[in-house]
Amino acid sequence: MSAAAEIVRVDEVVKDFRPGFGLRRKRVLHGISFQVREREIFGFIGPNGAGKTTTLKVLMGLIRATSGNASILGHGVNETAFRRQIGFLPENPYFYDYLTGKEILQFYAKLSGVSRQRRAFRVEELLELVGLSSVANARLRTYSKGMLQRIGIAQALVHDPNVVFLDEPMSGLDPVGRKEVRDLILRLRAEGKTVFMNTHILSDVEMLCDRVAIIVAGRIRYQGAIDEFLDAGQPEADLVLANVPPEIAVAMEERFAAGLRGHGERIELRIAEKDTSAVLRVAMEAGAEVVSVTPHRVSLESIFLSAVEQGTAEEKSS
Amino acid sequence: MIARIWTLAMNTAREAVRNKLLYSLLFFAILMILSGVAMGALSYTESERILQDIGIASIRLFSVAIAIFVGVGLIHKEVERRTVQTILSKPLSRAEFLLGKYLGLVLIIWLQMMIMVLFFAGLSELTGAPLGLSHLAAFALTAIELAVVVAIATLFSAFTTPMLASFFSCGLWMAGHLTRELRDHGAGSDQLIAREVTAWMHRILPDLESFNLSIEASHQLPVAASDVWLPALYGAGYVAILLVAATGIFERRDFR
Give the model's pLDDT for residue A298: 66
Q: B236 vs A98, B95, B116, B146, CA distance in Å?
A: 32, 17, 23, 11
User: What is the spatial distance between Cα A233 and Cα B113, in angstroms, rounded to a whole number?
Assistant: 71
Alpha carbon distance A169, A199 (integer Å): 8
Which one of A63, A83, A96 has the shortest CB-CB distance to B91?
Answer: A83
Contact B256 A96 (CB under 8 A): no
State residue A4's pLDDT score: 62
Q: Locate the domains of chain A by residue range.
A: 6-231, 234-296
State the best of B10, B87, B90, B249 to mutate against chain A, taking most chain A CBs within 10 Å. Answer: B90
Cα separation, A249 vs A287, whole angstroms = 12
Q: Where are the beta strands (DSSP E) in A200-235?
A: 211-216, 219-225
**Residue B150 per-residue DSSP state:** H
- What pLDDT score does A2 carry? 47
pTM, entire model? 0.83
Q: Do B255 and A57 touch (CB under 8 A)?
A: yes
- What was the ipTM of the complex prediction? 0.83
* Chain segment A45-89, per-residue pLDDT in tens: 988 888 999 999 999 999 999 999 999 999 999 898 889 999 999
Domain count across chain B: 1
Q: B90 vs A108: CB contact, 8 Å cut-off? A: yes
What CATH number does domain A6-231 carry, 3.40.50.720, 3.90.550.10, 3.90.400.10, 3.40.50.300?
3.40.50.300
| B256 belongs to a structural domain | no
For residue B42, tell me if it sits in a domain. yes
Q: What is the pLDDT of residue A1?
A: 44
Which pLDDT band holds residue A121 (cuts at 50, 70, 90)? very high
In chain A, residues with a C-beta closer than 8 Å to the C-beta of B254 are 17, 57, 62-64
**Least CB–CB distance from A90: residue in B85, B91, B252:** B85
Residue B116 lies in a domain: yes
Q: Which CATH class is domain A234-296?
A: alpha beta
CB contact under 8 A, A86 and B89: yes
For residue B178, what are the domain limits?
2-251
CB–CB of A111 and B92 under 8 A? yes
Residue type, B149: V
Rounded to an integer, what distance in angstroms lies between the CA atom of residue A139 and that of residue B206? 42
Buried b (16+ CB within 10 A) or exposed e, B1-22: eeebbebbbbbbbbbbeeeeeb
- Assigned domain for B218 exists: yes
Cβ pair A28, A16 in contact under 8 A: yes
> What local confidence, expressed as pLDDT, does residue B30 receive?
87
Read off the pLDDT of each residue in B20-28 and give the average, rounded to a whole number.
Answer: 84
